[in-house]
């Protein structure tokens, strides 16, 4: 199967400016391609990874990625999909965000080897621009009438929300990025989200007008989950790649808890597994589907955080749903992993402490009386061990259970 056919079969392609032309270019030899990421936040989240996965597949096939970190365009702000002008970031914030995103993207797009990823900052060529020269040499190729028809611009104007002059320039700047990369690095393909189609076509057209050369644009779909949420969003915010914002365990749980109807689609988009393997994993429901979700969670977490973090998250997830007889080292792994979780209840206590007091402080029981009744009814546990004496002391960090589904971690305060 041709590489482009594979990418389409995985659901990674939404639109292509010239499919036959791109297919021929991929066959003729390694192409250089790019995608841009404006550092408007200090972390990417799972929803940002679809174009990154497309880039990853292209790189593994021998083509060379350029990652444009938009230190220049972040000073303007892409108006696409926004109801109002973005807040302006200062230079220090842009620098911090850029460094954080660069580290995250490098995990997916390695820099070593003959086709290692190239990371550049478009501030290097945008900030030194002389404005009048830019207007004369680049601005003359753009039609105001056409720019007004762009969906994002049209929606803003129709809603009487306005569009600042600085935002109106964003289209020129992103198009110019493509021209600079074409002239300096032989880049012929731009990849982006489908909401970037207008900007991407602008770059393709600018290269044709200025250089008389052919370039291509490819967009990936903008994803909604089966329950209507934007990909990467959770009830508590977003599934960030930053381990301080979303711990590896919470990131694993995000993928483990996706809607059943999304599992096959997400395995194709977010994992390196072959299509035949994915089809087999998703061929039946029940236990097979639960295992498919675990594979998805393990692969997605491994790429974001590495093998060790993925293994620990998988292990702890299994422990919390039935694995008993833990060794001291295994308990330490659980405590270390859950201590970083933003979603698992964690309470600082003073050891030693009675199980009843610990359960009340951790919020497992509303009162000591309720905790005593829970012990008498056989529903109290420390780790996997049933608690028969509510006054028995807990001496070290542990997972306490109230019934089969309610748990909390107590740690030293």
pLDDT, tens only, 266-297: 999 999 999 999 999 998 778 889 999 999 99
Q: What is the DSSP string of 200-267?
A: HHHHHHHHHHHH----EEEEEPPPB-TTSPBTTEETTEE-BSSTTTS-HHHHHHHHHTS-GGGHHHHH
Tokens at residue 190, please?
Answer: 């731009």
| 233 catalytic per annotation | yes
Residue pLDDT, tens place only, 42-56: 999 999 999 999 999
Q: Is pLDDT above 90 for 57?
A: yes
* Third-level CATH fold of 3-220: Rossmann fold (3.40.50)
Rounded to 5 degrees, φ, ψ at 181 are: -70, -35
Please state the rounded mean pLDDT for residues 147-166: 63
Residue 115 pLDDT > 60, yes or no? yes
CATH number of 233-339: 1.10.240.10
CATH 1.10.240.10 residue ranges of the chain are 233-339
Look up 82 and say whether it is catalytic: yes
Q: Could you tell me the pLDDT band of residue 155, with boundaries at 50, 70 and 90?
A: low
The model's pLDDT over 384-394, given as tens digits with 9 standing for 90+, comes to: 899 999 999 99
Task: Tell me which of 10, 17, 38, 48 is the catalytic residue.
Answer: 48
Q: Residue 157 above 70 pLDDT?
A: no
Q: Please tell me the predicted confidence (pLDDT) of residue 137.
A: 85
- Per-residue pLDDT, averaged over 78-85, amounts to 55
C-alpha–C-alpha distance, residues 101 and 250, integer Å: 20
The segment(s) of the chain belonging to CATH 3.40.50.620 are 3-220
Q: Is residue 86 annotated as a catalytic residue, yes or no?
A: yes
Q: Which two tokens stand for residue 232?
A: 């990467």
> Which residue of the set 17, 153, 174, 271 is catalytic?
174
Average pLDDT, the chain: 90
How far is residue 93's CA from residue 322's CA, in Å, rounded to a whole number?
A: 45
Res. 83: pLDDT tops 60? no
One of 233, 245, 323, 331 is an active-site residue; which one? 233
Q: Is 48 in the active site?
A: yes
Which of the residues 19, 82, 294, 340 is marked catalytic? Answer: 82
40 counts as catalytic = yes
- CA gap 382, 399 in Å, rounded: 6
pLDDT of residue 148: 66
What is the average per-residue pLDDT within 337-341? 94
Residues 32, 225, 234, 382: which is the catalytic one?
Answer: 234
Reply yes or no on whether the pLDDT at 357 is more than 80. yes
Q: Which of 96, 146, 154, 230 is catalytic?
A: 230
Share of the chain above pLDDT 70, in %: 90
In the three-class reduction of DSSP (H, G, I as helix; E, B as strand; rest coil), residue 126 is classed as helix
Strands (E) in 28-73, as ranges, are 32-37, 64-69
Non-local CB neighbours of 151 within 8 Å, separated by 6+ positions: 198
What is the tens place of the pLDDT at every residue in 189-215? 999 999 899 999 999 999 999 999 999
| Tokens found for residue 272 | 């390196």
- What's the average model confidence in pLDDT over 320-338? 85
pLDDT-derived band of residue 59, with 50, 70 and 90 as boundaries?
Answer: very high
- Where do you find CATH 3.10.290.10 in the chain? 346-412
- For 210-232, what is each residue's pLDDT tens digit? 999 999 999 999 988 887 778 87
Res. 173: pLDDT tops 70: yes
Distance of CA 230 to the CA centre of its chain: 12
Confidence at residue 79, expressed as pLDDT on a 0 to 100 scale? 61
Residue 322 has what pLDDT? Answer: 62
Active-site residue, selected from the candidate residues 86, 209, 229, 323: 86
Catalytic residue among 18, 194, 195, 345: 195
Euclidean distance between CA atoms 289 and 229, whole angstroms: 21
Taking the C-alpha atoms of residue 225 and residue 257, their distance in angstroms, rounded to an integer, is: 12
309 vs 343, which has greater pLDDT? 309
d(CA 394, CA 358): 8
Note the pLDDT of residue 226.
82
Question: Among 3.10.290.10, 3.40.50.970, 3.40.50.1460, 1.10.3720.10, what is the CATH number of 346-412?
Answer: 3.10.290.10
What's the pTM value of the predicted model, to 2 decimals? 0.89
What average pLDDT does the segment 407-411 reach? Answer: 94
Distance of alpha carbon 311 from alpha carbon 307, whole angstroms: 6
Q: What is the pLDDT of residue 152?
A: 62
Give the DSSP letter of residue 271: -
Active-site position among 10, 17, 38, 45: 45
* E strand or H helix that includes residue 54: helix 49-60
Determine which one of 40, 333, 361, 382 is catalytic. 40
Report the distance separating Cα 6 and Cα 1, nearest Å.
Answer: 6
What three-state secondary structure class fits 163? Answer: coil
Asked about 395 being catalytic, the answer comes back as: no
Q: Is 195 a catalytic residue?
A: yes
CB burial of residue 212 (10 Å; 0-12, 13-18, 19+): exposed
Per-residue pLDDT reduced to its tens digit, 162-171 = 566 666 688 8
Is 84 a known active-site residue? no
The reply to whether 196 belongs to the active site is no
Residue 159's pLDDT band, with cuts at 50, 70 and 90, is low
Q: What are phi and psi of 14, to 5 degrees?
A: -105, -55
């Amino acid at each position: 199967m041709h590489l482009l056919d594979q990418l389409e079969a995985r659901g990674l392609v939404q639109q292509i400016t010239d499919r036959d032309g791109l297919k021929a270019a991929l066959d003729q030899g390694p192409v250089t391609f790019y995608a841009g990421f404006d550092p408007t936040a200090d972390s990417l989240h799972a929803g940002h990874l679809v174009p990154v996965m497309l880039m990853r597949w292209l790189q593994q096939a021998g083509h060379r990625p350029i990652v444009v970190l938009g230190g220049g365009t972040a000073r303007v702000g892409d108006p696409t999909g926004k109801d109002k002008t973005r807040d302006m970031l200062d230079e220090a914030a842009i620098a911090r965000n850029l460094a954080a995103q660069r580290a995250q993207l490098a995990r997916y797009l390695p820099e070593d080897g003959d086709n290692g990823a190239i990371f550049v900052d478009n501030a290097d060529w945008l900030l030194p621009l002389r404005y009048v020269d830019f207007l004369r040499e680049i601005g003359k190729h753009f039609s105001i009438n056409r720019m007004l028809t762009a969906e994002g611009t049209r929606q803003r104007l129709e809603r009487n929300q306005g569009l600042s002059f600085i935002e109106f320039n964003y289209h020129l700047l992103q198009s110019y990025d493509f021209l600079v990369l074409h002239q300096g690095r032989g880049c012929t393909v731009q990849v982006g989200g489908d909401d970037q189609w207008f900007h991407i076509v602008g770059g393709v057209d600018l290269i044709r007008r200025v250089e008389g050369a052919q370039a291509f644009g490819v967009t990936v779909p903008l994803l909604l989950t089966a329950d209507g949420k934007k990909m990467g969003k959770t009830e508590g915010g977003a599934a960030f790649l930053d381990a301080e914002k979303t711990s590896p365990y919470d990131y694993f749980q995000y993928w483990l808890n996706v809607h059943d109807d999304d599992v096959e689609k997400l395995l194709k988009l977010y994992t390196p597994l072959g299509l035949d393997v994915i089809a087999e994993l998703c061929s039946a429901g029940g236990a097979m589907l639960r295992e498919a979700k675990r594979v998805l969670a393990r692969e997605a977490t491994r790429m974001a955080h590495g093998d060790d973090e993925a293994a620990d998250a998988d292990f702890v997830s299994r422990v919390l749903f039935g694995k008993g007889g833990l060794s001291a080292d295994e308990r330490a792994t659980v405590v270390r992993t859950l201590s970083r979780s933003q979603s698992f209840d964690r309470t600082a206590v003073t050891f030693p402490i009675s199980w009843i007091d610990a359960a009340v402080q951790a919020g497992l029981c509303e009162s000591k009386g309720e905790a005593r009744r829970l012990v008498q009814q056989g529903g109290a546990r420390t780790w996997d061990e049933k608690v028969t004496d509510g006054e028995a002391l807990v001496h070290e960090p542990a997972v306490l259970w109230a019934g089969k589904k309610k748990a909390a971690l107590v740690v030293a305060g």
